[in-house]
Amino acid sequence: MTNKMWGGRFSTGPAQIMEEINASIGFDQRLYNQDIAGSKAHAEMLAAKGILTKADAKSIIRGLNQVQSEISSGQFNFSRSLEDIHMNIEQRLKEIIGDAAGRLHTGRSRNDQIATDFKLYIRDCLDMLDGQLKDLQKALAKQAEKHADVIMPGFTHLQVAQPITFGHHMMAYVEMFGRDRSRIADARKRMNECPLGAAALAGTSFPIDRYKTSGALGFARPMRNSLDAVSDRDFVLETLSCASISAMHLSRMAEELVIWSSSQFKFITMSDKYSTGSSIMPQKRNPDAAELVRAKVGRILGALTSLVVVMKGLPLAYSKDMQEDKEPAFDAIDSYSLALAAMTGMVKDLKPNKEILRTAAATGFSTATDLADWLVRVLAMPFRDAHHVTGALVALAEKNKVDLAELSLEAMQKIEPRITKEVFKVLTVEASARSRTSLGGTAPRNVTREAKRWLKKLG
């Protein structure tokens, strides 16, 4: 049989394979709240403009409330033959209230309807994700405040570079995720224009009030061009771009947690809540949650790439290709949200192993830069000369298999006679970290101040 919602033009029904490829109800049913919200706003506007009687509008809204209740309670029977969430809801509405249901679609199309539904859904997701990022920032800032003076090695090229503090390392991710939130806020602001009323592609001849529906749905304004309104998926692309960048940040941190929790490093202890064991090796403690977070970026970035490829060759306005926007986006947002929740839990529960971190910070001649700075500051030596002298002292210490602080003053003076015993005051990892008081530096007092500032900002 033909689909009664659009079957006047057709004398036979679709082939089975057509139903398989065409139906979207298997995934777009999650948009039911947004679809019903859009329909209510549209019905109220139609009634306000005299296009729909107040009695019909009241009946439609009552019926939509019932449909929403049925779906929420799991009592609704979705039909693949009705293709999508719009037709499933409209058909059930007709069963409840009769012919008045058919008047709801006046002045709109499924094209502007799905664009509106999806925007409402993505907007809700952005608000949810921003809240999750905020929770992660709080967890990181609390760890930073608590461990502002815990010394650890800072790395470049994964080689020990200079002593830093554990709190400073945590605050680096607070800043990263702050940028992620800024991108999400920008994306939300840019997308907050309403497609509803653009109809199929050209607008409508009915005297609708698009500002009324736009305001009722919480949009800042209607979209100004009907072709753009139904064919735009930038809001999904931008959301997936934001998610991909942020997931990359999550992956970088997850990689560090994997390394730090290994038996070779032992920098941190991960909570049992976010670790697993082995089915054969009883001693194993695997950071599986971190590893899975690290992997999520692949799915999220894949969704972005998928949608870019779908959209890149589409002429204006709507094409059915755009139905392929939802499944990757749903999966990416679900994956990103799950990764944020897992990372927040891991951060809250992890414990830095202070002595191991401090010992590691003192390896690899990590205070060499402090020695060079002392030569510049005390002996007024040009930095390039100080760099050369320090390099010679590092080579001497390496040859004698000792750290810089373990060289004798006499040995140092053979390379640079003006060095005094005061130099040893800057060669401890604690002194090194304390000295980095410049804006953005790792000094514990800086870290404490920044952690408090962020916690106040985050509320």
pLDDT digits (tens, 9 = 90+) for 89-117: 999 999 999 999 999 999 999 999 999 99
φ, ψ at 415 (rounded to 5°): -95, -40
* Amino acid 3: pLDDT: 53
String of b and e for 364-380 (b: at least 16 CB within 10 Å)? bbbbbbbbbbbbbeeee
- CA neighbor of 334 nearest in space, from 342, 346, 345: 342
* Amino acid 1: pLDDT: 38
Bridge partners (DSSP) listed for residue 268: 352
- CA neighbor of 410 nearest in space, from 402, 421, 399, 398: 421
* Amino acid 287: pLDDT: 87
CA 388/CA 374 separation, integer angstroms: 13
- CA neighbor of 267 nearest in space, from 254, 258, 276: 258
Instruction: Name the catalytic one among 157, 205, 263, 438.
Output: 157
Position 6 confidence tier, pLDDT thresholds 50, 70, 90:
low
Instruction: Name the catalytic one among 69, 271, 278, 408.
Output: 278
Helical pair 166-191 and 234-260, crossing angle rounded to 10 deg: 170
Q: Which of 84-98, 274-288, 326-340, 341-355 has the lowest mean pLDDT?
A: 274-288
Q: What is the four-CA torsion angle of 357, 362, 364, 370, rounded to 10 degrees?
A: 130
CA distances from 388 to 155, 372, 380, 395 (A): 22, 9, 14, 11
Counts of helices then strands in the chain (DSSP H, E): 19, 6
* Amino acid 286: pLDDT: 86
pLDDT of 280 over the 50 cut: yes
- CA neighbor of 231 nearest in space, from 209, 252, 202, 201: 201
- CA neighbor of 393 nearest in space, from 380, 384, 406: 406
CA 201/CA 231 separation, integer angstroms: 8
Average pLDDT over residues 255-284: 87
Mark whether 157 is an active-site residue: yes
CA 205/CA 108 separation, integer angstroms: 10
- CA neighbor of 111 nearest in space, from 325, 333, 313: 325
pLDDT digits (tens, 9 = 90+) for 422-457: 999 999 999 999 999 999 999 999 999 999 999 999
pLDDT of 7 over the 60 cut: no
Mark whether 105 is an active-site residue: no
